[in-house]
């Protein structure tokens, strides 16, 4: 019987993450409208522009570290500040350092560790137990700022102890990252489980994994659901409605 390695993503796969940013975004919109009054654009335009700036900043260089912002903790609070500055420029208003400081603190609210435990997806911890009870290998692979990701891993509680195949925090998921797992568990079958086809699945397919996609519309792929699902290689990737379906499709019938 061939042993299997299941590599689980964390954000929006095991723990809901997408709405952690909602309250800070809405609070920043109120702050911008309060500051600019009638010169502020419509609320929908502010939100849309914030999303565009945040996505752009992902590849921009963080002057503090000399590396791209990526998924670091610094990116999102700075995005709120940049959004405010852009609308001040358009309104011919001098940005207020006090408001900028408040916006940055508002952005840090997205990383309130009190959110993480309650955001664990229904059935997520049971799936970790299910994989282990089948004597398969369960691993956790997450991309992001270690300062944030370690707190989320801690929120998983005892489940984090069951990722006996390993827990890895990386800047970005690459084929090389997945290849290291193939090298470690020679002769196993490999499955990459995640919500983002482009970042969680495609790099794994390059080195012989099978994909398990549980699609979630995050800020990175908003409005692109049909486009992305049309790209799925169904010969090498299964698409599930929720993480609990793993028990249905990957029950031990080997």
Q: Residue 205, class by beta-carbon neighbours within 10 Å (0-12 exposed, 13-18 middle, 19+ buried)?
A: middle
pLDDT at 21: 93
Fold of 4-17+119-249: Rossmann fold (3.40.50)
pLDDT at 224: 84
Answer positive or negative: Cα dihedral of 166, 167, 171, 173: positive
67 to 32, 172, 242: CA distances (angstroms): 29, 13, 35
Answer positive or negative: Cα dihedral of 120, 124, 128, 130: positive
pLDDT at 253: 57
Q: Which residues of the chain have pLDDT under 50?
A: none
User: Considering only CA atoms, which of 97, 78, 99 is closest in space to residue 33?
Assistant: 99
User: Considering only CA atoms, which of 69, 144, 64 is closest in space to residue 111?
Assistant: 144
Cβ atoms within 10 Å of 202's Cβ, excluding its own = 19
Cβ atoms within 10 Å of 45's Cβ, excluding its own = 12
User: Considering only CA atoms, which of 74, 95, 83 is closest in space to residue 48?
Assistant: 83
pLDDT at 19: 87
251 to 82, 125, 131, 133: CA distances (angstroms): 48, 16, 9, 10
pLDDT at 170: 95
Instruction: Enumerate the β-bridge partners of residue 237.
Output: 211
What does the alpha-carbon distance between residue 87 and residue 103 come to, in Å, rounded to a whole number? 14
């Amino acid at each position: 019987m061939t042993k299997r390695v299941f590599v689980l993503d964390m954000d929006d796969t095991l723990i809901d993450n997408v709405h952690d940013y909602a309250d800070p975004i809405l609070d920043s919109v109120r702050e911008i409208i309060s500051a600019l009054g009638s010169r502020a654009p419509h609320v929908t335009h502010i939100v849309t522009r914030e999303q565009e700036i945040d996505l752009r900043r992902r590849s921009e260089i963080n002057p503090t570290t000399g590396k791209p912002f990526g998924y670091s903790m610094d990116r999102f609070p700075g995005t709120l500040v940049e959004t405010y500055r852009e609308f001040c420029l358009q309104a011919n208003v001098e940005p207020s350092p006090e408001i900028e400081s408040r916006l940055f603190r508002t952005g840090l609210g997205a990383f309130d560790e009190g959110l993480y435990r309650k955001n664990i997806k229904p059935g997520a911890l049971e799936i970790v137990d299910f994989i282990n009870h089948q004597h398969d290998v369960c691993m956790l692979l997450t991309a992001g700022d270690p300062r944030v990701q370690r707190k989320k891993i801690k929120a998983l509680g005892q489940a984090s102890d069951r990722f006996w195949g390993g827990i890895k925090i990386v800047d970005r998921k690459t084929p090389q990252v997945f290849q290291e797992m193939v090298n470690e568990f020679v002769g196993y079958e490999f499955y990459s489980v995640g919500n983002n086809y482009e970042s969680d699945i495609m790099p794994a397919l390059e080195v012989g994994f099978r994909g398990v996609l549980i699609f979630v519309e995050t800020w990175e792929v908003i409005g692109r659901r049909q486009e992305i699902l049309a790209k799925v290689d169904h010969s090498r990737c299964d698409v599930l409605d929720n993480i609990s379906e793993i028990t249905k499709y990957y029950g031990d019938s080997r």
